[in-house]
Structure 1
Amino acid sequence: MVSERGLQVLRAIVQDYVDTNEPVGSKSIVERHAFGVSAATIRNDMAQLEDEELIVAPHTSSGRVPTDKGYRVFVDHLAELRPLTSAQRSAIMAFLEDAGDLDDLLVQTVRALTRLTGQVAIVQYPSFSRASVSHVELVQLGGGRMLVIIVTDTGRVSQRLANVRGEYSEDEVQRLRAAVSSVIVGRSVRDGAHLVDERLAEASAAPASAKPAAIDDATVELLRVVSEELEEFRQDRLVLAGAANLARRESDFRGSIYPLLEAIEEQVTLLRLVSEMHADDQGLSASIGRENEPFGLAEASVVASDYDATGSLARVGVMGPTRMDYPTNLAAVRAVARYLTRMLHDENSR
């Protein structure tokens, strides 16, 4: 059982090792921290921490470094989130306030977060499968093209072009809009997508002699576009930035950074990891080192915070080596998540 002072020694070791990237010895702890005890006493505390597998000697020197288990104890019990400076908060706002739609907002979010932390920044798209479609609009652009606009009750607005191969009167455009609206408006994205797929299957199975009229052909094309768009509403995906930071900190990884680069490129693994992390009562979560072994990322840590996209929770976070500044990174992802939540709610209330 580690004593209370032993836990504070662990805190000092984590903080000093993150700051210096050098193994931490008892003498430096006495010099840098006000424990009021001798170096011999600190060595005894360190021996106890080593017995509990919270610290380890990387080589024959007297210094010690935290283990993954030590980082976990630090994050769960000892880390005190460092408030962001006013300059950091202003930088976040400057990035996010310039964003346009949801896609642009999430891109700006990861750019802000990677600049703030120096880590790989990750933001998970909110899943809108439970949202309801509240409105459909069609805008004829000429040249056989029509803009399909879908609005949900969560405030998400999407736009996609459809090639309808013809020009239609205003009345015909309104009839097309009514035909599409009757299938999806007032239904959840999940239910609407299922019904659209049923309609498309029925149209595909119709014999050539029963081909619909030209305007019905256009309806089928519009429903096909709607189906693709609703499928994107339902898909989980990530936006990332800052992969170059891994190369800059390659020395912090005992092995190759290739598994991390592969996870960034393919996203599926990272998406599973981020989705399965367990959040505390503040919406903060951390997955450290060997805890990520099932995902092939045993040398990386991920810290994240939940954000609320008007009823649909998702996560924003950072990934980097286990030797990271957990208090600062946790504070950063929490601050960015709160700004993101506020901006999404403000946009939805307009």
Structure 2
Amino acid sequence: MSEDRRLEVLRAIVEDYVQTREPVGSRVLVERHALGVSPATIRNDMAALEDAGYIAQPHTSAGRVPTDKGYRLFVDQLSTVKPLSAPERRAIQQFLVDAVDLDDVVDRSVRLLAQLTQQVAVVQYPSLRRSALRHLELVPVGATRLLVVIITDTGRVEQRVLELDAPVPEHLVPELRARLNAAVAGRRLVDLPEPLARTATAFPDAHRPLVQKVVAVVEDTLGEATEERVVIAGASHLARTGTDFTGTIRPVLEALEEQVVLLRLLTEMAEDSAGVSVRIGRENDHVGLAEASVVATGYGADGDPVARIGSVGPTRMDYASTIASVRAVARYLSRILAG
């Protein structure tokens, strides 16, 4: 059997099954696809694909459906990914560009991706472990109170109010702000303790207690804010694809509710490849996702991913369109963070 023709038959089976949800027979393949061979040859090809584990027959006298192994081969052989239309690209840009802060960006992104794919969308918040400090602002809000504002390169903003024992000298705040930014701006947050401590020791003894308090609140704030989390949207879409799962969709929903499961999965997928990665069925370690596929990619400013965005749905998904949507939203999200 021709290897190329076998792949064409598998591609046709996957595309028809994704569209119709019905097992695909040889007669349908002949009618819908210009494969250039006789029905008997198609049947022989399907028998070989079944023997190799790429397709299966769910019921006697029924057509064939792709297996996880078949979907994997299909995805690996995707030479082109369906591009989004110009209206779709404009809609993504317009929907995301109006976001007012990081929380709004993440919320809009996850809702948009769920709408585009009609599946569950997952967006991981930018990781502080991979973020850098863009600016540190100090704002007096009273004689003995100082507002400390931490802004990362991913747009994340953390604020704390520092209560002081005595009034702050007017000249000290701008000097401290300038020195701290000179020492830490542009550095990864995990690398800040040493330059912060070095900056504190550079001040005269009379001002050092205040400086150390500011440094301590910065370190404490970053320590509190390192918790990783994800946001999901579109879980209701699974109800419409419930027949794609054996028995019930509950295991998938339960897996999606576990932040640790999703974070572990996204972290593992980040190691798969630099581009869009796909986990199909039992390639997902969590038993609740054994009948689901996950398509994910990284996003971040300057081509340096700081988090992941992805789509979760049944293994019977339109992989080309899902990959295109995930990649497009990630690119726009990266541009916004870079801006």
Answer whether TM exceeds 0.5 for this pair: yes
User: Is residue 297 of structure 2 the alignment partner of residue 305 of structure 1?
Assistant: yes
Instruction: Give the equivalent residue in structure 2 for 1:164.
Output: 163
Instruction: Give the equivalent residue in structure 1 for 2:256.
Output: 264
* Structure 1 contact 126–309 (Cα < 8 Å) conserved: no
Distance 1:159 1:280 in 2: 32
One-letter amino acid of the structure 2 residue matched with residue 266 of structure 1: E
The within-5 A match list for 1:100-115 is: 100-115=100-115
Instruction: Give the equivalent residue in structure 1 for 2:310.
Output: 317
CA deviation vs aligned residue, 1:157-184 (integer Å, no higher than 9, x gap): 5231325267756446457757976985
Distance 2:159 2:145 in 1: 10
* Structure 2 contact 299–334 (Cα < 8 Å) conserved: yes
One-letter amino acid of the structure 2 residue matched with residue 159 of structure 1: E
Q: 5+ unaligned residues in a row in structure 2: which ranges?
A: 200-204
Aligned residue pairs: how many? 332
* Structure 2 contact 18–317 (Cα < 8 Å) conserved: yes
Deviation at 1:137, TM superposition (A): 1.3
SS at 1:246 equivalent: helix
User: Is residue 222 of structure 2 the alignment partner of residue 230 of structure 1?
Assistant: yes
- Alpha carbons of structure 1 residues 181 and 77: separation in structure 2 relative to 1, 3 Å: closer
* Structure 1 contact 310–344 (Cα < 8 Å) conserved: no
One-letter amino acid of the structure 2 residue matched with residue 85 of structure 1: S
One-letter amino acid of the structure 2 residue matched with residue 267 of structure 1: Q
Identity rate, percent: 52
- Alpha carbons of structure 1 residues 88 and 25: separation in structure 2 relative to 1, 3 Å: same
The within-5 A match list for 1:189-204 is: 189-193=189-193
Distance 1:291 1:155 in 2: 31
- Alpha carbons of structure 1 residues 131 and 280: separation in structure 2 relative to 1, 3 Å: closer
| 168-177 or 314-323, larger mean C-alpha shift | 168-177
Deviation at 1:45, TM superposition (A): 0.8
- Alpha carbons of structure 1 residues 265 and 174: separation in structure 2 relative to 1, 3 Å: same
Distance 1:343 1:305 in 2: 16
Instruction: Give the equivalent residue in structure 2 for 1:94.
Output: 94
Distance 1:15 1:132 in 2: 43
Deviation at 1:86, TM superposition (A): 1.4
Deviation at 1:274, TM superposition (A): 1.4
One-letter amino acid of the structure 2 residue matched with residue 77 of structure 1: Q
- Alpha carbons of structure 1 residues 155 and 58: separation in structure 2 relative to 1, 3 Å: closer
SS at 2:289 equivalent: coil
SS at 1:240 equivalent: strand
Instruction: Give the equivalent residue in structure 2 for 1:202.
Output: none
Distance 1:178 1:340 in 2: 31
Instruction: Give the equivalent residue in structure 1 for 2:235.
Output: 243
* Structure 2 contact 293–313 (Cα < 8 Å) conserved: yes
SS at 2:284 equivalent: helix
Q: Could you say what the CA RMSD is over the residues aligned between the two structures, in angstroms?
A: 3.3
Instruction: Give the equivalent residue in structure 2 for 1:207.
Output: none
Distance 2:235 2:216 in 1: 36
Could you state the TM-score of these two structures normalised by the residue count of structure 1? 0.82
- Alpha carbons of structure 1 residues 322 and 130: separation in structure 2 relative to 1, 3 Å: closer
SS at 2:300 equivalent: strand
Distance 1:60 1:186 in 2: 64
| 302-311 or 128-137, larger mean C-alpha shift | 128-137
User: Is residue 331 of structure 2 the alignment partner of residue 338 of structure 1?
Assistant: yes
SS at 1:94 equivalent: helix
Instruction: Give the equivalent residue in structure 2 for 1:6.
Output: 6
Distance 1:5 1:13 in 2: 12
Could you state the TM-score of these two structures normalised by the residue count of structure 2? 0.84
Distance 1:327 1:181 in 2: 45
Distance 1:87 1:107 in 2: 21
Instruction: Give the equivalent residue in structure 2 for 1:26.
Output: 26
SS at 1:126 equivalent: coil
Distance 2:327 2:29 in 1: 30
* Structure 2 contact 132–188 (Cα < 8 Å) conserved: yes
Distance 2:188 2:43 in 1: 62
CA deviation vs aligned residue, 1:204-257 (integer Å, no higher than 9, x gap): xxxxxxxx999947963x545423432366444322221222223222111432
SS at 1:254 equivalent: coil
- Alpha carbons of structure 1 residues 171 and 280: separation in structure 2 relative to 1, 3 Å: closer
| 334-343 or 39-48, larger mean C-alpha shift | 334-343
Instruction: Give the equivalent residue in structure 1 for 2:276.
Output: 284
* Structure 2 contact 122–310 (Cα < 8 Å) conserved: yes
Distance 1:122 1:53 in 2: 31
